[in-house]
Structure 1
Amino acid sequence: MLGGPGRHKLFIGMAPGVGKTFRMLQEAQDLKREGVDVVIGVLETHGRRDTARQAEGLEQVPRHRLVHQGVSLEELDVGAILARRPQLVLVDELAHTNGPGSERPKRWQDVAVLLAAGLDVYSTVNIQHLESLNDQVAQLTGVVVRERLPDRVLQQAQEVVLVDVTPETLQERLQDGKVYAADKVDQALAHFFRRPHLVALRELALREVADRVEEDGPPARGLRERVMVCLSTYPGSNRLLRRAARLAGFMDAPLLALTVQDPARFLSKEQAVRLEESIRLCGDFGAKFLRIDSDDALGTIARIAGERGITQIVLGQTLRSRPQALLRRTLSEKLQHRLKGQAVDLHLISIDAASTPAEWPEDPRGGRDQRIS
């Protein structure tokens, strides 16, 4: 442990209540019996008695307390844990947003500090918090998840454990009061915990872990792929970037985000904010961001694709009226002409917002894809 960074083991599931925290505590208790020095950095039992009992006998490092607008908050105390120097730290709810005034805005950033200091960490997270799945989860469930986790956190973990139950089992746990308080059960069953939502989330979780297993195997064709997403400063760019990140992840390919700005035009405040958000997301996805000033967007896209050996291009597509479709060629058709026979696949992603999903409540403490070959 002293010779390098710590190891990160992440317990992931399709939704709250599948047993991620319980499983993490079980393994921690086994390790303690073997003589490993284990402490709890953050544990959220949410009133679940079985989970609280499973934590008995494990040392808990007191959390850092702070007050914001008269509300008392408790967050992971990184300094206290580093001073204590255990072998293993348990950190629940990895995607949590720290309270205002904390040293770092996100709990996963606190964990990064512990790992860099050579401490091993066990943590938990639900699949809907993964950044690249944000738009997909919103479409499937009607919920926009506000607390999100960069994909690289999952990718860099040494071990990822899927904690899985059937949707029916999870609904039974919910009805028995083992997930939420009784006054929240009916609302949960009628919204996020509907069976179709749970089936879709379970499929996402299973696929994510399966893709990781495949990535740990021998190199495949995906290593020859290179993905480029073409971003604008208009609404929908972040959705486009997330879809491109998923594509790059499936192909085990590097991702380049390109934005072409006309030097004769100035960005509005809203456009500048969207551009900054895209740059931040590129960092979360491990993508390279490239901005080029040019009044020939299609020519620039084609040139960069040739220079960088791009094999997959992701573009946004808005719905057009029938007269528009008859009178004008689409952006993809024009780009195909500019590519001049390059072996590039185009992926057209709808960026029309059909509806505005409800927002996933944050802890008070703190289109379809068309491929053109």
Structure 2
Amino acid sequence: MPEEMHPYFRKKTPDELLEEINEGRRGKLKLYIGAAPGVGKTYKMLQDAHDLKREGIDVTIGYVETHRRSETEAQIGNLEQIPLMKISYKGRIFDELNIEEIKRRAPEAVIIDELAHTNIPGSKHVKRYMDVDELLEAGIDVISAVNIQHLESVHDIVRTLSGVAVRERVPDRFIQKANEVQFIDASPETLRKRLEDGKIYAPEKIQQSLENFFTTTNLSALRELALREIADDVDERIEKTSGKLFEGPVGIHEKILVCVHYGTTSEKLIRRGYRMANRLNADLYILTVADDHEPLSNAKSEKIKQWMELAEQFNATFILEKRNNKKPEAIIIDIANKYFITQILLGQSARTRWEEVKKGSIVNAIMRKTSNIDIHIVADNRRS
């Protein structure tokens, strides 16, 4: 297939080109993510900053939190530190990131620790990630760090795992803007030993932390959660560049699309898709197509309701598409490309608008116009 006809090789719209130009002017964000405090994110940031300095990069420290850990403090060395901004609040003086001074100094890169931090009232922005965003917009590269429990989307999971409601959180959309993400890992046993040795918290907090947040069970669960998030981030980055590197989805993260219509196999197909998704730890999508001008009958509306209930039960994404005068195979191909689907399930006995499946034309069209997608035809044995 010629490149210009392949769905992954299309001309970019003016808005997309403008966005690319703006992205080119924006600073780069590098994030260090850990499963818990004490894994060594700040230490690694400072270590890498020295490497950058030796390479001739103008790098400074905007804010670093050492928690009085001697090894981390020693790692600062001769790195330039931009003075913090003093803010008076309720009779006390607090140190906050000095955005204006960093912009005036205009280094090539700046280290800003504690990304999820909430700023003291009187600061320019409510949250530190907003400070970082302003610096990125100014064309300054930022190196920052955050723990997995501070991601907005995992808040409920972390609360269930640890019993702790994390107040300081960062929106996932900001994390997803990072140009590079590095996972800083340490085993639960290593973290507990560091805590016992006084290398993470002050002595008065050690025993309480060992018995609460820093239990082996909590740390293991947070570590797995962080690994999964990093794996998903890798999937998304590969998908975003797949138009340049691959002809279609690469299958690192399986995504299954079940195509249903108003026949006898629909619920069976959905259940089959769920079993496949469950075994493969895959995302599940359920697609049905509605005619442009034909109103839905009560029977069809009831069917759609049942499918939506199954989708909710199976944690699947339900997609109801209008035909818009498109052929069924064109709709399937569009959805497969949009969601980077790796496997498609079709019913063998589909009728009416989808009767082409039985003759094979839909399958042939999908195979001609997509790559790296497996197609499964599920026979109708009248048992669902």
Fold match by TM threshold 0.5: yes
* CA–CA distance in structure 2, aligned partners of residues 196 and 159 of structure 1: 29
1:32 corresponding residue in structure 2: 53
2:38 corresponding residue in structure 1: 17
Residues 306 and 342, structure 1, Cα contact 8 Å, conserved in 2: no
* CA–CA distance in structure 1, aligned partners of residues 118 and 64 of structure 2: 15
* CA–CA distance in structure 1, aligned partners of residues 177 and 256 of structure 2: 18
Which aligned pairs between 1:276-287 and structure 2 lie closer than 5 A? Answer: none
* CA–CA distance in structure 1, aligned partners of residues 75 and 311 of structure 2: 51
Q: Deviations over 1:56-83 (max 9, x none)?
A: 1011111111111112111111100000
- Please state if 1:5 is matched with 2:3: no
Of 190, 198, 203, 2:211 maps to 190
Once the two structures are TM-superposed, the CA of residue 214 in structure 1 deviates from its matched residue by 1.6
Q: Does the C-alpha gap of structure 1 residues 154 and 2 become closer, same or farther in structure 2, counting only changes over 3 Å?
A: closer
CA RMSD across the alignment = 3.1
1:245 corresponding residue in structure 2: none
1:103 corresponding residue in structure 2: 124
Q: Which segments of 5 or more consecutive residues in structure 2 lack a partner in the other structure?
A: 1-21, 243-247, 259-281, 292-298, 316-383
- What secondary structure is seen at the aligned counterpart in 2 of 1:74? strand
* CA–CA distance in structure 2, aligned partners of residues 64 and 178 of structure 1: 28
2:226 corresponding residue in structure 1: 205
1:46 corresponding residue in structure 2: 67
- What secondary structure is seen at the aligned counterpart in 1 of 2:78? coil
Residues 2 and 118, structure 1, Cα contact 8 Å, conserved in 2: no
2:302 corresponding residue in structure 1: 337
* CA–CA distance in structure 1, aligned partners of residues 83 and 211 of structure 2: 37
* CA–CA distance in structure 2, aligned partners of residues 170 and 150 of structure 1: 26
Once the two structures are TM-superposed, the CA of residue 337 in structure 1 deviates from its matched residue by 2.4
Of 171, 174, 178, 2:199 maps to 178
* CA–CA distance in structure 2, aligned partners of residues 2 and 204 of structure 1: 30
Which aligned pairs between 1:209-228 and structure 2 lie closer than 5 A? Answer: 209-217=230-238, 218=242, 220=249, 222=255
The one-letter code matched in structure 1 to 2:107 is P
Of 344, 347, 369, 2:312 maps to 347
* CA–CA distance in structure 2, aligned partners of residues 93 and 8 of structure 1: 14
- Please state if 1:145 is matched with 2:185: no
1:122 corresponding residue in structure 2: 143
Residues 167 and 199, structure 1, Cα contact 8 Å, conserved in 2: yes
Once the two structures are TM-superposed, the CA of residue 206 in structure 1 deviates from its matched residue by 0.5
Q: Percent identity?
A: 49
Of 81, 86, 90, 1:65 maps to 86
- What secondary structure is seen at the aligned counterpart in 2 of 1:215? helix
* CA–CA distance in structure 2, aligned partners of residues 54 and 335 of structure 1: 66
Q: Does the C-alpha gap of structure 1 residues 336 and 126 become closer, same or farther in structure 2, counting only changes over 3 Å?
A: farther
The higher radius of gyration belongs to 2
Task: Give the TM-score of the pair, scaled to structure 2.
Answer: 0.60
1:166 corresponding residue in structure 2: 187
Task: Give the TM-score of the pair, scaled to structure 1.
Answer: 0.62
Q: Deviations over 1:162-197 (max 9, x none)?
A: 000100001011111110111111010010000000
* CA–CA distance in structure 2, aligned partners of residues 335 and 10 of structure 1: 48
Q: Deviations over 1:67-120 (max 9, x none)?
A: 111121111111000000000000001000000111110000000000011100
- What secondary structure is seen at the aligned counterpart in 2 of 1:216? helix
